[in-house]
Chain A
Amino acid sequence: MLDLELDDQSDRRPPSHWESMKRRAFTLTGIGSLVAVAIAWTAGLVRYMFPRIRYEPPTRFVAGFPESYRPGEVDTKWQKDHRVWIVRRGDGIYAILANCTHLGCTPSWFGDERLFKCPCHGSNFTQVGDPVAGPAPSPLYRVSLSIGPDGQLIVDKAIQENRPGHRDRPPFRLTLDGNSRGDVPA
């Protein structure tokens, strides 16, 4: 039954050194190319998933004249479009990012309690942005404010600060009582 002729390989010449090197080089080149293609695809795929164009609102916007904000008040008119509150307090004005430092919901301003309250897990913040209740670990962020050539406020949300002290210096808080800091024209 068994074809012994087939099993007998004694007449086969073992591959010469050169031949087996050639075979090995061929195999390695093949595997190497496959690995290279796989790596290139993976890298390309990762890059592909990071969009280069984003259809998101710009981080800078013009917010009117500083004097148009009432002293002692929190103005929520930019909340819907830009997620920013403008606060005029004492002799200063600053802009707070309406983004809870817990996990990013939008808190609401409760004027009668003078607190920002987050609907998601109940964090409360004071008018300067300090957390007083709930899971939020740190104060709300202030964003950069500056005065444009026409005297209007320019808000830039790309520049942020929430450390006490730092957040009370320009551009995170501007003084409105004339030229005391030289940052607001009289």
Chain B
Amino acid sequence: MDPELPPVERTVSTEEALESIERARSWRERLVEAVTGSEIWRSVIRHGNPALRRNRSLAVVGNFFLHLHPPTVTRQALKFPHTWYMGGISFLLFLVLTVTGTLLMFYYVPDVGRAYEDMKDLQFAVSFGPLLRNMHRWAAHGMVVTVILHMIRVFFTGSYKPPRQFNWVIGVGLLILTLLMSFTGYLLPWDQLALWAITVGANMAAATPLIGHQGPFHELVGVQADSDIRFLLLGGTQVGQNALIRFYVLHCILLPLVAVLFIGVHFWRVRKDSGISNTR
């Protein structure tokens, strides 16, 4: 028996009783209550006792991450024979690329005198460098494959038809962005393969009608080797420092930002077009 408690036979007022209960609570209980009762805690843990089904569904519906699987996107509709999981896997690879790419940026400097050496350091001197570099490379190749397979499945299941035409258009944008991210990333190792691949790729741009200096009708616009679309892409007439920094900025910042925007709209459209196609 707690010696602090008053003897049972004495009559006590309500205040006295509450006071003694309060005194009897351990400091641990008080701490827990101070934390879980605080405004900050309750703003993060927003839902009641999870033993209740209703609270559990509220927690799912009110959560951004769990909302990726909302009621309009049913488990039935996501089944492998219909989606091949290719959209979801493309997104997963995009996340892998974002994380590994950000980590690679801690060592890679886009300078013609350093870039190749930095890649070699990542390969041979940096702890876990080869793992990150290989993950980035394989995920990049993989994403091109899965995005194309995803497009094929959308075509075969007829999911581009009304009301989903707009999402198909967004998808074409995502395909182009995926290819551009691959192309710009290819220059960054700054080895012979990179240099000549980008030389060849940029020379194809020179054959663009009107705005490429070797393309049809370029005389009408009057573009030259130092004023055409290829020059704009490379920041020069040949692949050099300007091209490297341009491709680096496009690859690490601009294209991923635009891709995030497009992916956001893409997923939102799946819901607005009443979910994945074989439900309705």
Contact = CB atoms under 8 A, between A and B. Distances in A.
Interface in A35-86: 49-51, 54-56
Interface stretch (B37-45, B120-128, B229-237): B229-237
B166 to A, nearest CB: 25
Given A103-B203, A104-B199, A105-B200, A56 B240 contact: yes
Given A103-B203, A103-B204, A104-B203, A54 B237 contact: yes
Nearest to A46: B232
B200 A56 contact: no
Contacts of B240: 55-56
Given A103-B203, A103-B204, A104-B203, A54 B196 contact: no
Interface in B158-207: 196, 199-200, 202-204
Contacts of B238: 56
Interface residues of B, number: 17
Contacts of A56: 236-238, 240
B80 to A, nearest CB: 40
B236 A105 contact: no
Given A56-B236, A56-B240, A50 B231 contact: yes
Nearest to B246: A49
A56 B73 CA distance: 55
Given A49-B232, A50-B227, A56-B236, A105 B242 contact: no
A54 B242 contact: yes
B100 interface: no
B242 A103 contact: no
A21 interface: no
Contacts, number: 34
A52 to B, nearest CB: 10
Interface in B221-280: 226-227, 231-232, 235-238, 240-242
B200 A54 contact: no
Contacts of A55: 236, 240-242
A51 B199 contact: no
Contact of B199 (A49, A50, A54, A105): A105
A120 B237 CA distance: 19
A58 to B, nearest CB: 12
A166 to B, nearest CB: 18
B232 A50 contact: yes
B113 to A, nearest CB: 12
Contacts of A54: 226, 236-237, 242
Nearest to A106: B196
A51 B237 contact: no
B102 to A, nearest CB: 26
A55 B236 CA distance: 8
Contacts of A103: 199-200, 203-204
Nearest to B197: A120
Contacts of A104: 199-200, 202-203
Contacts of A50: 227, 231-232
A120 B196 contact: yes
Interface of B: 196, 199-200, 202-204, 226-227, 231-232, 235-238, 240-242
Closest 10 CB pairs of A and B: A103-B200, A104-B203, A103-B203, A104-B199, A54-B236, A105-B196, A51-B235, A49-B232, A56-B236, A120-B200
